[in-house]
Amino acid sequence: MKNFVFILSVLLSISFLAFSCKGNKDASKKKGANSCEFEATVMDFTGLSGCSILLKLEDGTFVNPSSGVDREILKNAEKVSISYEAKSMVSNCMKGTIANITCFEVIKEGQPLKGKVD
């Protein structure tokens, strides 16, 4: 009987974990054929202490790229598509989530220029 209860609890736990993990249905999630997840706008915050280029997602969230994209090539108000991994880091810039950019595409006239990061 103890084995039955143990096996049942393990199966229920696995079932719970498998069905409770759903994908992020963020409003800014990209719904196109591009491989990157989020559409963003490049914003120049150079005037703000410790900041430079930030990426503003459609939901208003700011991403502060720490790696994965060359900030020198980004232009203010440029539309891009990105995927990122948030990092637990501290920055002088008090705006945005510090992140490693894992996928980057510049969106030009409906045609993204792929810049995927390995």
Q: Which value, to the nearest 10 degrees, does the dihedral of the CA atoms of residues 112, 34, 100, 72 take?
A: 0
Beta strand 62-67 with 79-86 is: unpaired
Return the number of other C-beta atoms located less than 10 Å from residue 102's C-beta: 17
C-alpha 48/C-alpha 12 separation (Å) is 51
pTM over 0.85: no
Average pLDDT estimate for 15-27: 43
Of residues 46, 26, 29, the one with CA closest to residue 81: 29
Segment 74-98, tens digit of pLDDT: 888 999 999 999 999 888 888 899 9
Which CATH superfamily hosts domain 27-114? NigD-like N-terminal OB domain (2.40.50.500)
